[in-house]
Chains A and B, each alone.
Chain A
Amino acid sequence: MRARRLHEVLPHGGEPGNVILEVDDIHLSFAGVKAVDGISFKVHTNELFAIIGPNGAGKTSIFNCVSGFYHPQRGSVRYEGRELLGMRPDRIADLGIARTFQNIELFPQMTVLDNLMLGRHQHLKYGTLAALVRAGRASREEARNREVVEGLVEFLGLQPVRKSYVAMLPYGLQKRVELGRALAMAPRLLMLDEPVAGMNLEETEDMARFINDIRWELGIGIILVEHEMRMVMDLADTVLAVDFGRPIAVGTPAEIQNNPDVIRAYLGEEHGTAPAGGGAE
């Protein structure tokens, strides 16, 4: 049997170039500490948008604002023209925004399959009573969605660990399962929070290939937060550099690499070398 391609399993992101997410001047502070201080950006369908910045610059906070986990004091976050601020995280996820986490947030006591099936939650159309009886509809829906999940298992090469408990898997595989769980939601906007943090060269290459495939096959909007500069510069269309919650620069990878403000943020006042190729750790 021929391995299925990703676009045969998941829906396409739609017309390329449409604005899918518009973050407008958001401010978030915790008891006086400004975590996000006036960040604005736009993400389009079929665009890989990267956010870079030193540790503690507020990159994950931006994700949490979009996810509905943090509530910015000011600004607006519009997704497909709809205001997200004030919405519950589960409603935001329902709209088609999926994410992964910096420190893996899988469900450790569930199998790989169950984690991925959980990603299909909103696509499994049956109620609690049907779940108790599990006749007809519930059983059909489970089988139909399992097929989608199996497509992702193939794509990510998780076949041998399908039924393993996530807690038993090595770190690199867990990261991959988490990507799979986010994909299972069939998102139109995918937010990846440091997908290759702590990975070796081979695992990083694999992950980069997955991200590239998702981008070119599905054409969805992707936001990538990452410290691995080589990957960011190779994959991203647009890069936003932030420091202390403030935007420093936005532009193509080449522009960012040569931007003096970005270099200063990474290396301090005295140095003048480009950050390209080096991690920020």
Chain B
Amino acid sequence: MRLRPGLVTDYRADAGIFKSVTQRIWFGLLLAAAVFLGAGGAIGPIRISSDIMVLLAYAMFASIGALGLNIVTGMAGQVSLGHAFFLGLGAYTAAILGGVEQTRQAMDPVTGQQVTEVVLRGYGLDMIIWLPLAGIIAALAGLIVAPVATRLRGLYLAFVTLGLVFLGEHIFREARTLTGGAGNGRPTAEYRLFGFRFDQDGEVFGIWMSKQQKLFFLGLILLLVMGLAAKNLFRSRVGRALAAIRDRDIAAEMMGIPLGRYKLIAFTISSFYAGIAGALFWAVVGRLTAEGFNFLLSIKYIAMILIGGVATVSGSIMGAFFITFLPKVVEGLAGLPGLSHIISKDPAGMINTFQFEQILFGLFIVGFLILEPMGLYGIWIRVRNYWKGWPFSY
């Protein structure tokens, strides 16, 4: 028997995700807690209201998107403001493939006969098809955009990717039979996997679950899978190559790393994550409008990785949860007796909740950049190190 259970004795274990038994146990506990909370009243006494449950699902879908942005911006250092475009591409791909076709009767102007006209395309396909394809289509778009990144860097790349958002918004508005056109929008994909409905309440393995609970577990499983893949990527030769490009691209090239190829890989994988996240997220929202995929959405994702922690998997997740729950917190603040005069839920109030949220948003980004560039992840590390040595200071 080994007397020191934490002793690492081979290189494979040294490169592992969990560095110690303690970490493994804590992660297990966290996961168990998530399952326990998610299953709600069925196996435990705690019941989470369905609007919090759906926010949790949203947060997990957003985490996947944030992971994507962290791969290209955090890991490879290529600042992309075009994330909203890739999210939108995923959402629309899913809606077209998994949505229902809408038709209307119209008079053919030439023959004068009644014909069926397609107002909105939709193929009503299963989730097993629309979800991967949403990722793949977005990834292909990333593949096309990536060569730009091999020519431009820093601010110039940020501007070009910003242009992508406006281009995307325009396409989403104008391709009417696909997107429903400006102001109208279209219904999204149906959450149906081999006949199993995520968007309806029902029994799962003999346990009754609300649709929010089902989505929560879907999010949890997908986040685990995609989080693991991202973690693997970060500690592989590809991840190191991306980090090298971020730190010093010229030296990286002289160490044998083809810059163009790796920027391409970063954009493609990042867009794949964005596509998946977009498809999942808006399929819960239920309605897609072109205006949703604007610059503000890109900024929101930038905020997630800045606040969460740049180039870390857990940071992406923390950031996504933080930003997703921010409106809820603001809403709570508006309800407090002292603050309700200043922050009003009425859109015409002095500062309405939406505006207050925007202010907080900006404050958090600036605050984290100045005070804790490592984000929530950095705070977590410091708290952990404090308790490691407690009650001694080191």
Contact = CB atoms under 8 A, between A and B. Distances in A.
Nearest to B238: A131
A153 B243 CA distance: 21
Interface in B343-375: none
Interface string A120-153: 1110101010011110001100110011001000
Nearest to B231: A134
Contact of B254 (A89, A109, A138): A89
B236 A107 contact: no
A85 to B, nearest CB: 16
B265 interface: yes
A114 B235 CA distance: 9
A181 B244 CA distance: 12
A131 B11 contact: no
B232 A133 contact: yes
Contacts of B246: 109
A101 interface: yes
B232 A114 contact: no
Interface string B8-25: 001110110000000000
Given A93-B253, A109-B246, A119-B255, 7 more contacts: A93-B255, A107-B243, A110-B243, A122-B256, A131-B233, A132-B233, A133-B229
Given A107-B243, A128-B238, A147 B255 contact: no
Contacts of A119: 255
A142 B11 contact: yes
A67 B254 CA distance: 7
Interface in B235-263: 235-241, 243-244, 246-248, 250-259
28 contacts: A90-B257, A90-B258, A92-B254, A93-B253, A93-B256, A105-B251, A107-B243, A107-B251, A108-B247, A110-B240, A110-B243, A110-B247, A114-B243, A118-B241, A118-B257, A121-B237, A121-B255, A124-B237, A126-B236, A128-B233, A132-B236, A138-B232, A142-B11, A142-B15, A142-B237, A143-B12, A143-B15, A150-B11
B232 A134 contact: yes
Contacts of B257: 90, 118, 121
Nearest to A117: B240
A88 B258 contact: yes
B248 A90 contact: no
A146 B13 CA distance: 12
B236 A93 contact: no
A67 B253 CA distance: 10
B256 A132 contact: no
Q: DSSP class of B's interface residues: helix, strand, loop or mixed? A: helix
Nearest to A108: B247
A94 interface: yes
A93 B250 CA distance: 12
Contact of A107 (B11, B232, B247): B247
A126 B15 CA distance: 16
Nearest to A144: B11
A69 interface: yes
Nearest to B14: A146
Contacts of B240: 110, 114, 117-118, 121
B276 to A, nearest CB: 13
B150 to A, nearest CB: 12
Contact of B236 (A68, A69, A110, A131): A131
Interface of A: 67-69, 88-94, 98-99, 101, 105-110, 114, 117-122, 124, 126, 128, 131-134, 138-139, 142-143, 146-147, 150, 181, 185
Contacts of B252: 107, 118
B247 A69 contact: no
A131 B233 CA distance: 5
A132 to B, nearest CB: 4
A209 to B, nearest CB: 25
Given A107-B243, A142-B15, A132 B254 contact: no
Nearest to A94: B256
A161 to B, nearest CB: 15
Given A88-B258, A109-B243, A139-B12, A131 B251 contact: no
A185 B253 contact: no
A114 B250 CA distance: 17
A109 B236 CA distance: 16
A82 to B, nearest CB: 16
Nearest to A146: B11
Given A118-B240, A121-B240, A185 B250 contact: no
Given A101-B251, A105-B248, A121 B256 contact: yes
Contacts of B229: 132-133
Contacts of B15: 142-143, 146
A66 to B, nearest CB: 10
Contacts of A133: 229, 232
Contacts of A105: 248, 250-251
Contacts of A91: 258
The 5 closest A-B pairs by CB, nearest first: A131-B236, A93-B256, A105-B251, A107-B247, A134-B232
Contacts of A109: 243, 246-247
A131 B244 contact: no
Interface string B268-282: 010000000000000
Contacts of A181: 255
Contacts of B241: 118, 121
B258 A142 contact: no
Interface in B198-220: none
B250 A143 contact: no
B275 to A, nearest CB: 15
Contacts of A124: 237
Given A114-B240, A143-B10, A185 B256 contact: yes
B233 A90 contact: no
A126 B252 CA distance: 19
B132 to A, nearest CB: 14
Interface in B326-343: none
A68 B250 CA distance: 11
